[in-house]
Amino acid sequence: MPMSMRDFHGFDWDISDDSDVESCFDMPHHPHHGLGLIQAMDPYTTIIAARALVEEVLIQLDVFTSGESDADQDLLAKGRRLAARYDFFQRKLDADLEGTSSVAASVERYYAECKEFQQVCTLAMREHEGL
């Protein structure tokens, strides 16, 4: 009998078979990859995840790039702007007492922008390492 557990959403997970884990790594790369998971979360969790993506990339950029080139400066500036927008969305969610879908959609777009920024920065860092 396979071992399973029920998470807080009521889904059954078979924890004795990890073959599905390997297939996750073979998924095609897409700029909005991960949005399905994020859409299942509440908007507050989504903006926190987006902010974490940006903060992590900014730390990596600081380590891997010289910061002297215009391209590096542009990436750092864009990252700072994305990080600053977190506060805007936090206030917007706090003010949205009715929980309208327009705010949730804005938060999802923000996450998609942060994810795309992460991918652009990862590519830039790989190119920088190849020099």
Q: What is the pLDDT along the chain (131 residues), one digit of tens a residue?
A: 343 434 334 444 443 443 443 333 333 444 444 545 445 568 888 889 999 999 998 888 887 776 678 888 888 888 888 888 888 888 888 887 666 778 888 889 999 999 999 999 888 888 877 75
Q: Does the pTM exceed 0.75?
A: no
Q: Which residue has the tokens 């990890």?
A: 18
Which pair of structure tokens corresponds to residue 13? Answer: 């997970």
Report, in this order, helix, strand and coil percent for the chain, each rounded to 5.
70, 5, 25
What pairs with residue 13 in β-bridges? Answer: 5
